[in-house]
A = this chain, B = another copy of it.
């Protein structure tokens, strides 16, 4: 049984994924979470704080389902780890669909709500850094800044593909294929840049 605070955050993520940030009413959230509105205001000082903590909750959940499997169990090559971490964000499971919908909606809302921007920028940076580390393991010969730029491109592309999928412009399997090819294109570019044969280090 999760604690009350987690129950509220879980319900908030669910409601945001169902009707959007602007459809989130505190009364309905209380009902969805099975708590009183007073308890919501006890845990979160205002709507902005509730949204920021929900963003954090969504990120932690994404960290869990995209975690690279325990390498002691089945060590994989760095490129496969990178593919796993990114492709796991494009899955048609209730959890991933809900999480991706809520993340995209918080991202879109931040265009109009400056009070979300700092937390969103921090969460984006953390994601870029984790991805850059995975890329660096796949192409250690490249500079840290080249790997960081590739991570920014791949995570931005993933956000773009995800909202196309969720808004009905792109079938999921096609989005996954485009992302997989983008990883190949980014890694191939580095391999060529270092003068080794295409794909040779992978």
Contact = CB atoms under 8 A, between A and B. Distances in A.
B20 A112 contact: yes
Interface string A83-122: 0000000000000000001001101111110101110110
A111 B167 contact: yes
Interface in A181-198: 181-182, 185-186, 188-189, 192, 198
11 contacts: A19-B112, A20-B109, A104-B108, A107-B163, A120-B168, A152-B170, A153-B181, A155-B160, A159-B163, A185-B185, A192-B192
Nearest to A19: B112
Contact of A20 (B22, B168, B182): B22
A156 B101 CA distance: 16
Interface string A144-176: 000001001101111111011011111000000
Given A178-B153, A185-B186, A111 B121 contact: no
Contacts of A185: 153, 185-186, 189
Interface residues of A, number: 48
Interface of A: 19-20, 22-23, 101, 104-105, 107-112, 114, 116-118, 120-121, 124-125, 149, 152-153, 155-161, 163-164, 166-170, 177-178, 181-182, 185-186, 188-189, 192, 198
Across chains A and B, which 5 residue pairs bring their CB atoms closest together, nearest first? A160-B160, A108-B108, A156-B160, A117-B168, A110-B167
Contacts of A168: 110, 114, 117-118, 120-121
**Copies of this chain, count:** 2
Interface on chain A toward B: helix, strand, loop, or mixed SS? helix
Nearest to A155: B160
Contacts of A117: 167-169
A188 B178 contact: no
Contact of A153 (B159, B166, B169, B182): B182
Given A153-B182, A178-B152, A163 B124 contact: no
